[in-house]
Amino acid sequence: MAAATAAPVEAGGDSRLARSGIFVVRVGVALLWIQNVAWKVPPDFGERENTGLYLFTRFAVDHPVFPPFTWFIEHTVLPAFPLFGWMTLLIEAGLGAFLLIGLATRFWAVVGVIQSLAITMSVLNAPNEWHWSYYLMILVHIAIFATAAGRCYGVDGVLRPRWEQSTRRFDKLLARLS
């Protein structure tokens, strides 16, 4: 008896239910990032009053998780905190926006893993934190990457065939990031 070989599956499944589920997860994660941008308030991001982003970043020093990360936060990030705050705001707004529309989704999923790891290393040992919330943030970004979630009712799904056919380097890059 010969073993059956399954055809490759694109974007996490060929059923409408699978594509819809991937779409819902991608949009849900996008909304998580968008909602969390709201409390990162310029210009000082809570530094003056020890609140908001500054407080949660400070947890990396006050409740260390990984000593080299703690050193980096204490000696690099906190002394230039407004710059870090703007970078965080822009990265997280970008995460939310690009995941929401499903553009360059695999790239933004990697950014989401990195950002989620940074958050995890900042707050994992802080009082009253549920560690699984941070692990789940990392895992959901891995799932978004693995399923190429932007191809499910996203811009990646619409434009990727054109990018793959193109000879332009930028289009080829976009195809890989999708």
15-38 pLDDT, tens per residue?
899 999 999 999 999 999 999 999
What pLDDT is stored for residue 5 in this prediction? Answer: 45
pLDDT of 56 > 50? The answer is yes
Query: For the chain, what percentages of helix, strand and coil (3-state, to nearest 5) are there?
Result: 70, 0, 30
More confident: 43 or 1: 43
Question: In the structure, what pLDDT confidence band is assigned to residue 13 with cuts at 50, 70 and 90?
Answer: low
User: Alpha helices, DSSP H only, in 3-130?
Assistant: 16-37, 52-62, 67-72, 81-101, 105-123
Both tokens assigned to 1: 């008896």
Helix (H, G, I), strand (E, B) or coil at 152: coil
DSSP letter for 162, please. Answer: H
What pLDDT is stored for residue 121 in this prediction? Answer: 97
DSSP letter for 74, please. Answer: I
Q: How many helices (H) and strands (E) does the chain have?
A: 8, 0
The CA-based angle 166-171-173, given to 5 degrees, is 130
For the chain, give the percent of residues with pLDDT over 90: 92
Question: In the structure, what pLDDT confidence band is assigned to residue 6 with cuts at 50, 70 and 90?
Answer: very low
Question: In the structure, what pLDDT confidence band is assigned to residue 14 with cuts at 50, 70 and 90?
Answer: confident
Contacts of 28 (CB under 8 A, 6+ apart): none
DSSP letter for 78, please. Answer: G
More confident: 12 or 135: 135
CB atoms inside a 10 Å sphere around CB 128: 5
Burial bucket for residue 83 (CB in 10 Å: 0-12, 13-18, 19+) = exposed
Contact status, residue 16 vs residue 153, Cβ threshold 8 Å: no
What pLDDT is stored for residue 34 in this prediction? Answer: 98
* pTM given for the model: 0.90
